[in-house]
A and B are shown apart, each in its own frame.
Chain A
Amino acid sequence: MALAAVKSSTRFPDLSTVPAVDEVGVNERVARFQSRSIKKASKVEALKLVLSMIDLTTLEGQDTPGKVRQLCQKAIHLHAAMPGLPHVAAVCVYPTMVAVAKKALAGHDINIASVATAFPSGMSSLSVKLEDTRMAVDAGASEIDMVMSRGAFLAGDYHYVFDEIAAIKEACGAAHLKVILETGELGTLDRVRKASVLAMHAGANFIKTSTGKIQPAATMQVTLVMLQAIRDFYYETDRMIGMKPAGGISTAKLGVHYLVMLRETLGNAWMTPEWFRFGASSLANDVLMQLVKQSTGIYQSADYFSKD
């Protein structure tokens, strides 16, 4: 799928203008997104949209080329028994597995995302992170998921964080950059908002909640705060930034709740895989099970769906 090139404006933002987050308000708003009644035809369309937005992910120390090839097969053929399904947006792997994924996905319109920059902790020098990024890009990754330096951010060294993201963005070249804030380590919604602003100004194409290695991973609360930051950034600069909640979104129902939130916060323009992604591994099968349930009326079992 073609990703539109986005020009980055790398000017350090005035962080004193970042608004404070009303946590009670966020919780109430999130509760409301979860109470929308979505009826059958809309639900089927929503589920298909969720499928098309998934970054099918495997980020384990035990990943083997075989496992990655298997994941790519799953990405191409989600559920052969049900024709007419979309394929996922991308597969997301470690840099050393990018070449394997590229070969396995040859001829298919599925992007390859790679985590980089000393994922998941980000605790390494800038030169190592740049090398990591270049390696993934050279191997064929079209999207880079970098981790923000939480240590530096929490220490208040915002300029370091900003410069680092800008440098990685440059190393990405034509590849899209997703910046992982790792909201589970930031502690407060105010910091999530501040980190979002910092990442967007430094040149991120996407902002992403989590690595999936820290609990809590993506929650609707942090995602809403990040979506609001994207909205305000768009009003300010006319630039669209994508959003990727990742980790812990494993049920179709929750996936649809995220879409409701996306629709009601950013609007239709963001309702495509170009601007919204789910980082997930088990979500796809739950969505497939729901889609089969919708077409047959019979509740499904994971036993009859390929794992990955």
Chain B
Amino acid sequence: MASTAKRQRIAVAKTYKIYIDGKFPRTESGRYFTLEDKRGNVIANMCRSSRKDFRNSVVAARKAQANWAKASAYLRGQILYRIAEMLEGRREQFVTELVLQGAGRRAAENEVDTSIDRLIYFAGWTDKYQQIFSAVNPVSSSHFNFSVLEPTGVVSMLAPDNSSLLGLVSNLAPVIVGGNSCIVLASETKPLCAVSFAEVLQASDVPAGVVNILTGFRSELTEFFASHMDVNAIIYCDGGKQVATAVQEAAANNIKRVIDRTGINWSKPDAGHPYLIRDTQEVKTTWHPIGT
């Protein structure tokens, strides 16, 4: 009996959902798009997120940001390291997903390993970037004048389409290292790893709402990622001049930081650097009277 049951076991296919406020809902719109491999076989039905999913994500990200920024650098570093540990434990799953979406096995393994290493790299920066980028400034009056970095707040991100895991990690880690919260639109053509990465984040003590990950169509959502008044910066990693112009114009309404990261090869060893952290930081300069 048992052996018959084993032979006839029904496949358990994973439902890929989106990640908002620490939970895995389906898109509120109820819409889906089908992901196929090269031969046209269906891999999965992905949520086609709507602007309302994005709106809900921004609410969650805004709510979570203050406490995340308040967490000590040491704690944020530990959590980043924990993400790397969790990813390491699920290495095989991510390799399989990358292969399923068309990568060679060797390239897939490389991408996952580099992603883990990059997380550890940024985990180390949490308590160091302030020292590199902050300064005591010379002034010619009796003031103690110093500049320190503060997180810009809520960041929206159009993740790289091609480098679906490593590109995501390389852009996401510096944002949250610096105490920001973010909403990510995953790679449109290779969205599987982003959803699985959300599961890693959830298991790594990243507070709910700090990272929100949506899947869906860039052409539909870019406008809202760029124009939302409660988003303080937008990072985009693909698209030609047309996308750049559209993003910059829509982002101007509340003077968002616009960060263009098109054309970067994220697999290069020097693709991770602390200037990525500084991109989503604001400099606060304090004039403190002395000697009076």
Contact = CB atoms under 8 A, between A and B. Distances in A.
Contact of B224 (A299, A301, A303, A304): A299
Interface in A257-308: 298-304
Nearest to B55: A299
Contacts of B265: none
A298 B227 contact: yes
Interface residues of B, number: 10
Interface in B45-59: 51, 55, 58
A301 B227 contact: no
Interface size band for A: under 10
A302 B132 CA distance: 33
Contacts of A299: 51, 55, 58, 224, 227-230
A23 to B, nearest CB: 27
B230 A298 contact: no
Nearest to B58: A299
A290 to B, nearest CB: 10
B254 interface: yes
Contacts of B137: none
A301 B228 CA distance: 8
B142 interface: no
Nearest to B253: A298
A298 B55 CA distance: 10
Main secondary structure of the interface of A (DSSP, over half): loop
A300 B254 CA distance: 10
Most buried by B among A298, A299, A303, A304: A299
B253 A303 contact: no
B230 A303 contact: yes
B228 A302 contact: no
Interface string B56-68: 0010000000000
Contacts of B55: 299
B253 to A, nearest CB: 7
A301 B55 CA distance: 11
B230 A300 contact: yes
Nearest to B51: A299
Most buried by A among B58, B229, B254: B229
B227 to A, nearest CB: 5
B28 to A, nearest CB: 12
A302 B63 CA distance: 12
A300 to B, nearest CB: 5
Contacts of B224: 299
Interface string B218-258: 00000010011110000000000000000000000110000
Most buried by A among B224, B227, B230: B230
Most buried by B among A301, A302, A304: A301
21 contacts: A298-B227, A298-B228, A298-B229, A298-B253, A299-B55, A299-B58, A299-B224, A299-B227, A299-B229, A299-B230, A300-B229, A300-B230, A301-B228, A301-B229, A301-B230, A301-B254, A302-B230, A303-B229, A303-B230, A304-B229, A304-B254
Interface of B: 51, 55, 58, 224, 227-230, 253-254
Given A301-B228, A302-B230, 18 more contacts: A298-B227, A298-B228, A298-B229, A298-B253, A299-B51, A299-B55, A299-B58, A299-B227, A299-B228, A299-B229, A299-B230, A300-B229, A300-B230, A301-B254, A303-B229, A303-B230, A304-B229, A304-B254
**What are the nearest 4 A-B pairs in CB distance?**
A301-B230, A301-B229, A299-B228, A298-B227
